[in-house]
Amino acid sequence: MTQLQADALAMNHLRWAAGIAVRMTGRRMQDDAISAAYVGLVVAARKFNVARDCQFRTFSFSWIRGAVRRELRRARPCGYSFVMDVPGGDPLVMDPPEKSPGPADVVGLEDDRRLVRRLVGQLEPREAEVLRLLYGLDGNEPLTGEEVGCRLKVTRQMVALLHQRALRRLRCGWLAATNARTPTVA
C-alpha cells in the first residue's frame, strides 16, 4: 500500500477515530485525545497490510486506543493546573481560566483525595495494587498494564480485569460517599 493510499484510508476513518477518543475520555481533554486518535489512525493506516485477513477497523482500533491512552498519561494533573510534556520542549503548564481556588475548594480537593485513599484501601489487595501501579498513586511513575502484569506475575488481561473491577467498585463507593455528603434540600 502506498503512502497516498494509507493517507486516504486514514481520512475515511477520521470520524470513527474521533468517536473512540470521545468515548475514552468523556468530556475531559477531548481535543488532545482526538488529536492523539488521529495520530494512532495514521500510524495504523501506514502499518496495515491488505494481504492479511483482517479488517482495517479491527487492526487500527488498538493503535488508536494506545495513542489516546499515552496522551492521557502524558497530560497529568498537577493541583489545579495541567502539566503536559511537550516532545522536544519544556513542559507546558496550562492554568484554568477561572479564578484561583479559594480555601473551600482546596479543602474539598483534599477531602476528595482522602476519600479516594480510603476507597482504594477498602478494595481487594490485588485490585488496590493494580490501581496504585497503573496510576502511580504511591508517588511512583505510572506503569503500563504489561509492566504491572510482570510485577504481579499475572497476564496483561488479568491486570485489565482487575483494573475494571477496581474502578467499578471505586465508582460505587464514590457515589455512595458523595451522596451521603451532599445535603438534601427540603
Q: State how far the Cα of 98 lies from the Cα of 180, in Å rounded to an integer.
A: 28
Q: State how far the Cα of 2 lies from the Cα of 170, in Å rounded to an integer.
A: 47
Quote the pLDDT of residue 86.
Answer: 46
Cell 485525545 sits on residue: 33
Quote the pLDDT of residue 131.
Answer: 87
Quote the pLDDT of residue 80.
Answer: 40
Condensed to tens digits (0 to 9), the pLDDT of residues 94-113 reads 444 444 455 555 556 677 77
Q: State how far the Cα of 135 lies from the Cα of 125, in Å rounded to an integer.
A: 15
The pTM of the full predicted model, rounded to 2 decimals, is 0.43
Q: State how far the Cα of 1 lies from the Cα of 46, in Å rounded to an integer.
A: 8
Q: Which of 75, 107, 92 is nearest to 181 (CA)?
A: 107
Quote the pLDDT of residue 33.
Answer: 86
Quote the pLDDT of residue 92.
Answer: 44
Helices (H), the chain: 3-11, 14-25, 30-47, 56-74, 103-121, 125-135, 145-152, 156-181
- pLDDT interval class at 28 (50, 70, 90): low
Q: State how far the Cα of 148 lies from the Cα of 155, in Å rounded to an integer.
A: 9
Task: Give the percent of the chain with pLDDT over 90.
Answer: 25
Condensed to tens digits (0 to 9), the pLDDT of residues 53-63 reads 889 999 899 99
Q: How far apart are the first and last CA of the chain?
A: 66
Domains, the chain, in order of start with CATH, read 3-74 (1.10.1740), 103-181 (1.10.10.10)
